[in-house]
Amino acid sequence: MNKKLPALLLISVFVVATCGLIYELIAGTLASYLLGDSVTQFSTIIGVYLFSMGIGSWISKYFEKNILSWFIQIEILVGLIGGFSSTVLFLVFESIASFRIVLYGFVSLTGILVGLEIPLLMRILKDRYEFRDLVSKVFTFDYIGALLASLIFPLLLIPHLGLVKTAFMFGVLNVVVALIVCVSFKKEIRASKYLQSASMLSIITLLIGFVYADKITSFSESQTYSDTIIYSKSTLYQRIILTKKNKVLRLFLNGNLQFSSDDEYRYHEALVHPGLQALPFAKRVLVMGGGDGLAVREILKYQNIDSVTLVDLDKGMTSLFQSNKILLDINKNSLLSPKVKVINADAFSWIKAQQKKFDFIVIDFPDPSNYAVGKLYTNAFYKLVKGILAPKGLMVVQSTSPYVAPKSFWTVNKTLESVGLKTIPYHNYVPSFGEWGYILATEPENPYKKPQNYIPGLKFVSRESVNLMLFFPKDMGKVETEVNKLNNQILVKYFEDEWANVL
Amino acid sequence: MSGQTFYKGDLTTYLKRRSFLLRVGLITGGIFLNGCLKKIKSKYNIKGALNGPDSKAGHILRDKIKLPKPSSSRKVKTLIIGSGISGLSAARWLQKNGEKDFEILELENHPGGNSHFGTNKTSSYPLGAHYITVANNDDDLLIDFLKEINVITHFENKIPYYNDYFLTFEPEERLLINGEWQDGLIPDFGVPANDKLQIKDFLYLVSKLKNTKGSDGKFLFNIPISSSSADKDYRELDKITFKDYLEEKGYTSKYLLWYLNYACKDDYGQKLDKISAWAGLHYFASRRGEAANAEQNAILTWPEGNGWIMKQLTGKLKDHIKTSTMCYDINLTANGNMLATVFNPETNITEKIETEKIILSSPQYVNNRLLKNLHRPIEYSYFSYSPWLIANITINELPQSKGRGLCWDNVAYNTASVGYVNSAQQHLKISEDKKVITYYLPLCNFEPAVSRLAAYSRNYEQWLDIVVPELEIIHPGITQAIENIDFWIWGHGMIAPTKNFIWSENLEKARTPIEEKIFFAHSDLSGISIFEEAFHQGIKAAKQVLDANR
């Protein structure tokens, strides 16, 4: 027997121990990245991992013959599974509902395999050492390996390699151990040729993974958006992302879908025409929010409109829709029209300073998902809007989904009523959003008259479709709610509760 | 000290005084030594200022500085000394009743007293009092005033409708407890069932007291305090401390006691073992204000705190307010008028003002010096004032933390401070890149006199050492985000309603005018330092002046 061989096996104990702990740390880190709450994640991962190692050790007694060859096969398997673990977990996180099952499945599998390694190794070595020596040597190397892993993981690997590359690197190391053992003991192993080529193949696969790791992670990040990202930009206020799939463009603000080019006409026609068509005398229009210029595009279809004032907080957003060629195609250059004045300002402060009245006011703010935006849905804000609404004018408010969030929708309605406005709620179906709601509001002495005809060229809004939009079936029927005020922000609470069930 | 020996009393007083001086000496000496070290090297790289009321004024009052001889004299019918809320309220009342010949003298270079505020590039922020609650509906004088300044916009079924922009915006309050920010300040998250039961029991008790009237048909606890019931059974509560009262009632829950202690620190600047039980209960059982558009006792606030109300008051009184004008002596003249000697530290000119009536809307520890030549049969040493530190912190972004997001009022369980308020709460802007948070620290670990001297001897770096570590506990990692901290020290921040104070004969005497010529208006005469008391004290004194003029 070659004297070097036991030493080689001991070194492989060391490598195996290091790799084992690294996989465990990777799983723990990944879980706390993706699921949050690092204490819980780490402690459950470690628990499951150690328990699985126990199972592995227990199973090891069922391996009777060809232990060396089993050991090599297990090494290859650990290398492959461990190496690909973080990649697979990253990729499935977005698309799988029960991510935890996959995660703990991986952790258990790796744990069982790693649990097998040491007992098998000890049995391989048992005839080459005295028992006392054997236990002492194997465990010494095992624990040194663990120390090394726990030190280099946070200090070197995570900062310099990242999770995905680290996993691949240790996968390679694992399989290299297999290969070396295989070559050194080829006389004692029956199918050594087969095992050698299997290790070689695995090493190559893992190396390819290592090299292309960056591509994989960026791919997984773009998985959040199922389509190709063609534009992304962080402005002072939000992250704007534009995606494209086939011919369909989608705009996301902070990850929330803003519009999809194949059905946005349904939303914007419904937002603008039932109101503006009823005001043949209208000259001055105000749009608050809606920096994409799509509502303005609809408004400019009316010849009687002299001026459109668009107030949007984010200059990054309005400039994008004034300059990007693809986007100009969608909004038909609306924000470049000489009739349109773009103002980048905070809506609440801006409106407080206004005196001049508007015939038609479109309020197209983001959904009331936080206290900051929630202020723009309060009675205090609507009082100000009412103050600049021309006596015979109309205002319209995008009011979230009356189907998913009926309490939120009817709170907006109630709040508008509370400032002395007569409301006309309506809704339509926008495939990308689902059932969506809008509320027209007017001074009570000027009741809303449904337009009998609409301007030509509309794809969705017509006399008949508006009649349908005005009808609320039972499952979206009116519910009693409170008025949304600056000092209760009840809408934000409703909105959170109602959308929590969906998202 | 005008030449008197300080041990004129018996030996024990002398010894007490000696041990007091020794302790003060040790503490301030220690602080001074530590300060020298900190000056050399501070842990933090944070900039800002350390300010407080003008300390020079105090020295002048104690005859420590030689002033120039009076160079001129003039006549003013009514003088008001002090332009805090009580002084301004008195002036408002005189003006409303047709008086034109009156002046408000303020020793600082700005009016406002405790309602003082500051402004930086990011926001205005309070330096003292920072909120009021919806007025009790029987408080007609206050409701009239709130209507006058558009805090009440109109009435719906006779219930006041408060200005939407002044009612505290949601989210209003959060408490950091057991590792998470919970909604509201009453401990709840992770609190054992037994403690919750005690808390519920206490809240039930005070809600009952809130609606109970005494044998004379008045509410047991009301605002202003002077309108509370004289029912003997309840006034007895002023003779024990809040701590003893709670012990007697069997309240042992540490969470409940923390909350009540927090309340005492917040409103009175002292812990519950120093505060009378009557005052402790008053905090919870005196506010019954109903609003048409908010819940009972809703809070009204402004970025500059009560500085906003103060500005509404000073707006109409501009021509009557003389800042940087300190009165340091008052004497009777032969013709029955009075002669006030005033000094302007900016021009270094002393002048004499002959006046018929004086309203002293200055605190009693100041009046003690002002009236040194007149007889006033009261014991000044019973007036105890809590010192405070206010820190205004400009930050880029608060670190993320678990639970409820940033609120107006943010308190952490078991910390020395009473938390911080977000001065941007009432801003209408959707997003702001920076914030100013105002942190309140009552200095109540020693008796007020010791804490006060200790506070005066700390330098900027030493205050950082006190404030920043607590902020780090509340928000790990916040130090990085701090752009600036400005400290403000109130040596005599607010009157402490210690036991046997509010309903004492001494306080009654202190409220009594001197010879129909000198009248008193300050919240320390109510015994608690809140806007409403100062407001009513001012009106009461002004009414006395008007009556005496008749």
Domain at A17, CATH number: 1.20.1250
Give the strand pairing for B518-520 and B349-360. parallel
Give the strand pairing for A434-442 and B50-51. unpaired
Structure confidence at residue A302 (pLDDT):
97
Distance between CA atoms of B163 and A347, rounded to whole angstroms? 20
Residue A231 placed within a domain: no
pTM, to two decimals: 0.75
Give the strand pairing for A422-430 and A434-442. antiparallel
Helix (H, G, I), strand (E, B) or coil at B485: strand
Q: By residue range, what is the domain housing residue A315?
A: 262-500
Which helix H or strand E contains A139, and what residues bound it? helix A131-152
Mutation pick from B300, B397, B430 vs chain A, by most beta carbons of A within 10 Å, is: B430
End-to-end CA separation in angstroms for chain A: 64
DSSP state of B122: S
Tens digits of pLDDT across chain A (503 residues): 445 557 777 788 888 888 888 888 888 877 766 665 567 777 888 899 999 999 999 998 888 888 888 888 888 998 999 888 888 877 775 455 567 788 888 889 989 998 888 888 888 878 777 788 888 888 888 888 888 888 888 788 876 777 788 888 889 988 998 888 888 888 877 777 888 888 899 999 999 888 887 666 555 545 555 666 667 676 777 778 888 777 788 998 877 888 999 999 999 999 999 999 999 999 999 999 999 999 999 999 999 999 999 999 999 899 989 988 888 999 999 999 999 999 999 999 999 999 999 999 999 999 998 888 999 999 999 999 999 999 999 999 999 999 999 999 999 999 999 999 999 999 999 999 999 999 999 999 999 999 999 999 999 999 999 999 999 999 999 999 999 999 999 999 999 899 887 75
Inspect the interface and report whether the beta carbons of B167 and A486 lie closer than 8 Å. Answer: yes
Question: Which one, of B315, B279, B21, lies nearest residue B149 by Cα?
Answer: B315
A·B CB contacts under 8 A:
57
Q: What's the per-residue H, E or C state across A198-225?
A: HHHHHHHHHHHHHHCHHHHHHHHHHCCC
Whether B87 and B308 have beta carbons less than 8 Å apart is answered as no
Helix (H, G, I), strand (E, B) or coil at A310: strand
Residue of A nearest to B405 (CA): A371
- What are the CB-based long-range contacts (under 8 Å, 24+) for B397-400? B397/B433, B397/B481, B398/B435, B398/B475, B398/B478, B398/B481, B399/B475, B399/B476, B399/B477, B399/B478, B399/B481
Q: Which of residues 7-36 of B touch A (CB under 8 A)?
A: none
Chain A closest CA to B385's CA: distance in Å? 34
Whether A323 and A336 have beta carbons less than 8 Å apart is answered as no
**B167, B293, B428 ranked by CB distance to A375: nearest:** B428
- Is A127 marked as binding a ligand? no
Residues 6+ apart with CB under 8 A from A445: none
Query: Would you tell me how many other CB atoms lie within 10 Å of the CB of residue A236?
Result: 11
Distance between CA atoms of B540 and B530, rounded to whole angstroms? 16
Distance between CA atoms of B27 and B454, rounded to whole angstroms? 7
Distance between CA atoms of B478 and B398, rounded to whole angstroms? 6
For residue range B84-143, what is the model confidence (pLDDT) as tens digits?
999 999 999 999 999 999 999 999 999 999 999 999 988 899 999 999 999 999 999 999
Inspect the interface and report whether the beta carbons of B430 and A373 lie closer than 8 Å. Answer: yes
Helix (H, G, I), strand (E, B) or coil at B436: strand
Chain B closest CA to A372's CA: distance in Å? 5
End-of-domain residue from the set A222, A254, A285: A222
Residues 6+ apart with CB under 8 A from A102: A88, A89, A92, A96
Residues 6+ apart with CB under 8 A from A101: none
Residue B156, chain A, CB below 8 Å: the answer is no
Which helix H or strand E contains A13, and what residues bound it? helix A4-35
| Chain B residues in contact with A379 (beta carbon < 8 A) | 164
For A2, the token pair is 């070659």
For A352, the token pair is 């407080």
Inspect the interface and report whether the beta carbons of B294 and A372 lie closer than 8 Å. Answer: no
Distance between CA atoms of A237 and A254, rounded to whole angstroms? 9
Helical ranges in B43-102 per DSSP H = 55-61, 85-96
**A237, A352, A378 ranked by CB distance to B431: nearest:** A237
The count of structural domains within chain A is: 2
A272 in the same domain as A193: no
Residue A376, chain B, CB below 8 Å: the answer is yes
HSE, side-chain direction, 13 A CA sphere, residue A39: 0
Inspect the interface and report whether the beta carbons of A371 and B405 lie closer than 8 Å. Answer: yes
Write the single-letter amino acid at A150: S
Inspect the interface and report whether the beta carbons of B431 and A313 lie closer than 8 Å. Answer: yes
End-to-end CA separation in angstroms for chain B: 39
Residue A128, chain B, CB below 8 Å: the answer is no
A465 in the same domain as A372: yes
Give φ, ψ of A87 to 5 degrees: -60, -50
Question: Which one, of A452, A326, A441, lies nearest residue A379 by Cα?
Answer: A441
Residue B253, chain A, CB below 8 Å: the answer is no
Structure confidence at residue A419 (pLDDT):
96
Structure confidence at residue B13 (pLDDT):
65
Chain A closest CA to B261's CA: distance in Å? 27
Taking the domain B67-119+306-382+501-549, which CATH number applies? 3.50.50.60
Query: Would you tell me how many other CB atoms lie within 10 Å of the CB of residue B5?
Result: 7
HSE, side-chain direction, 13 A CA sphere, residue B6: 9
Distance between CA atoms of B12 and B293, rounded to whole angstroms? 58
Inspect the interface and report whether the beta carbons of A485 and B293 lie closer than 8 Å. Answer: yes
For A16, the token pair is 């195996």
Query: Would you tell me how many other CB atoms lie within 10 Å of the CB of residue A185?
Result: 19
Q: Which of residues 283-322 of B touch A (CB under 8 A)?
A: 293-294, 298
Q: What is the dihedral of CA A446, A451, A454, A460, to 10 degrees?
A: 100
A78 in the same domain as A196: yes
Helical ranges in B9-84 per DSSP H = 11-40, 55-61
Alpha-carbon separation of residue B44 from B51, B243, B380, B466 (angstroms): 19, 38, 42, 12
Instruction: Look up tokens 């029209």; give the residue.
Output: A337
A103 in the same domain as A20: yes
Q: What is the DSSP string of B297-356?
A: T-EEE-TTTTHHHHHHHHHTTGGGEE-S-EEEEEEE-TTS-EEEEEEETTTTEEEEEEEE
A488 in the same domain as A353: yes
Domain at A425, CATH number: 3.40.50.150
Alpha-carbon separation of residue A6 from A3, A117, A122, B477 (angstroms): 7, 15, 11, 51
A291 in the same domain as A203: no
Inspect the interface and report whether the beta carbons of A348 and B298 lie closer than 8 Å. Answer: no
Structure confidence at residue B5 (pLDDT):
43
Structure confidence at residue A33 (pLDDT):
60
Alpha-carbon separation of residue A227 from A241, A469, B399 (angstroms): 11, 31, 33
Distance between CA atoms of B468 and B472, rounded to whole angstroms? 6
Residues of A identified as active-site:
364
Residue of A nearest to B407 (CA): A371
Distance between CA atoms of B214 and B205, rounded to whole angstroms? 16
DSSP state of B478: G
Angle formed by the axes of helices A162-184 and A4-35, to 10°?
160
Structure confidence at residue B2 (pLDDT):
41
- Is A303 marked as binding a ligand? no
- Residue A215's Cβ-count burial label (10 Å; 0-12, 13-18, 19+) is exposed
- Is A292 marked as binding a ligand? yes
Residues 6+ apart with CB under 8 A from B193: none
Residue A385, chain B, CB below 8 Å: the answer is no
End-of-domain residue from the set A222, A248, A279: A222
| Chain B residues in contact with A375 (beta carbon < 8 A) | 169, 428, 430
Whether A487 and B170 have beta carbons less than 8 Å apart is answered as yes
Structure confidence at residue A344 (pLDDT):
95
Chain B closest CA to A379's CA: distance in Å? 9
Inspect the interface and report whether the beta carbons of A489 and B170 lie closer than 8 Å. Answer: yes
Structure confidence at residue B1 (pLDDT):
38
Structure confidence at residue B6 (pLDDT):
44
Question: Which one, of B389, B391, B380, lies nearest residue B454 by Cα?
Answer: B389
SS3 content of chain A, % helix, strand, coil (to 5): 60, 15, 25
Task: Enumerate the domain spans of chain B.
Answer: 67-119+306-382+501-549
Residues forming beta bridges with residue B472, ordered by sequence position: none
- Residue B4's Cβ-count burial label (10 Å; 0-12, 13-18, 19+) is exposed
Write the single-letter amino acid at B419: G
Chain A closest CA to B256's CA: distance in Å? 26
- Kindly list the averaged pLDDT for each block of 10 residues, start to end, along chain B of length 550: 45 68 76 71 84 79 81 94 97 97 95 94 93 96 98 96 95 94 95 96 96 95 96 94 97 97 96 96 96 94 96 96 93 91 92 96 94 92 96 91 91 96 89 88 93 91 94 92 94 95 96 95 97 98 95
Inspect the interface and report whether the beta carbons of B167 and A492 lie closer than 8 Å. Answer: no
